[in-house]
Amino acid sequence: MSARIAIAIVIACIVSFAAGWIARPLATPYAHEGATVTLTRIVTSVESTTARGGSKSVAACPLSSPSTITITRTVTVASRLRSACLEAPKVVLVLEHQYPKIVTQLIDRANRSVYVMMFAMKYYPWERNDVDAAINALCAAAHRGVDVRVLVDYVTAKEYGSTIRHLESCGVKVKVWHECDGLWKLHAKVVIVDGKYVVLGSHNWTYSAFNHNIEVSVEIESAKIASKLTSLFLELWRSACSVAPQALSS
């Protein structure tokens, strides 16, 4: 009887080990030296406990085009790579005439907030163009109850006062950056939508920038980056250097 029990225990252990091996996390594959594998993700850093007790972080992201590589040493991928990939920002290059459509669509989909920092913004009431479409998208968002704020440089208030008046008339909150504390200009061109999407680069909101200039911007999907830029925007918005447009004419 004891022999049968011993055999049963051994079989149970083998089954348990096999089940655990089969059910091991798919997110933790490994390969031995000399093996050829298909690379489907990029490991940007590795987390491991060092001899001194320190640790390094892990981050990896899927590749759009998998590549075949030969392993020269044993590689282990931690299961936490999946969450690290989800946190990685998604970046899209935005060139010249692509910008108006992308930024207008983002604003049209906004349901919480749209914050804009812009050096130059010019509304063209006598014609319909891409700049007007973007500005009117801000107005439509404000009408939907979205918190829409625009911080422009003094150059917009000085040269394109009708733009500010139009924005204020449709419910958009506007402030003007005025030189102070050694900071001359608000030269940023940034749009932040719903604390998650950011478009930044060289595009001013002018007809020439949207249609004739060589401009380069990027669209970023990242709550982390959007949060940092939102903090900067709100800091500038509350700064003594940011004034109501009416204060400039008084």
Comparison of pLDDT for 21 and 102, the residue scoring more: 102
- Alpha-carbon distance of 132 to 163, in angstroms, equals 10
pLDDT at 182: 77
Query: What percent of the chain is modeled with pLDDT above 70?
Result: 64
**Residues 71 and 138 placed together within one structural domain of the fold:** no
How far apart CA 95 and CA 145 sit, in angstroms, is 31
Instruction: Check: CB of residue 138 under 8 Å from CB of residue 172.
Output: yes
Q: Total structural domains in the chain?
A: 2
Q: Give the pLDDT mean for 244-248.
A: 78
Kindly tell me if the per-residue pLDDT of 31 is higher than 60.
no
- Sign of the CA dihedral 150, 155, 156, 162? positive
Q: Judge whether 11 lies within some domain.
A: no
- Pair (159, 229) in one structural domain: yes
Whether 158 contacts 178, CB under 8 Å: no
Residue 18 lies in a domain: no
Q: Assign residue 211 the CATH number of its domain.
A: 3.30.870.10
Indicate whether 64 and 124 sit together in one domain: no
pLDDT tops 60 at residue 26: no
Task: Tell me, yes or no, whether 15 lies in a domain.
Answer: no
Structural domain boundaries, residue 134: 90-249
**One domain for residues 32 and 49:** yes
Calculate the dihedral angle through the C-alpha atoms of 185, 189, 193, 195, rounding to the nearest 10 degrees: -60
Residue 127 domain-assigned (yes or no): yes
Considering the domain boundaries, does residue 20 fall inside one?
Answer: no
Q: Which of 209, 204, 174 is nearest to 191 (CA)?
A: 204
pLDDT digits (tens, 9 = 90+) for 213-240: 999 999 999 999 999 999 999 999 999 8
Whether residue 240 lies inside any domain: the answer is: yes
